[in-house]
Amino acid sequence: MIETFPVQGIEALRDDYSAFPHRKYFHNIIEVKGVYTDDSVAKPVDNFLRSWRDKFAATSGYEKRHVYQNYARDDEPQSALYGYQPWRHERLTKLKGAYDPYGFFDGYHVLPSDIKKWT
């Protein structure tokens, strides 16, 4: 699936206005998704889809991977989801410590509670 959407509103804001890290990077999103009814094919399908994701990323024209959190897998670095800038890591880690010190909201894409644990 390829999604295209207007971005002029989000791009009009300062980069540090919010936690959204993908200003100037998202004009189109490509989602590669597989559906099957036989769980025995899960691993080959997953491998196939990841290989296509990697091919699209390699030809995207971007130096680093940028992944919309809702479409992320479990193997992308956290910085691909939340931004590569150190100030973003510091800001999000501080917010994590202030509002979720016990990890109640830890889920699929956990924000690190320690600045040294960013990938």
pTM of the model: 0.81
Mean pLDDT of the chain: 88
What is the domain extent for residue 34? Answer: 2-117
Contact 46, 34 (CB under 8 A): yes
State the DSSP code for 22. Answer: -
Rounded distance between C-alpha atoms, residue 92 and residue 81, angstroms: 12
C-alpha separations of 14 from 22, 26, 33 in Å? 12, 16, 33
What is the count of structural domains for the chain? 1
Summarised one tens digit per residue, pLDDT across range 36-72 is 999 999 999 999 999 999 998 999 888 999 888 888 8
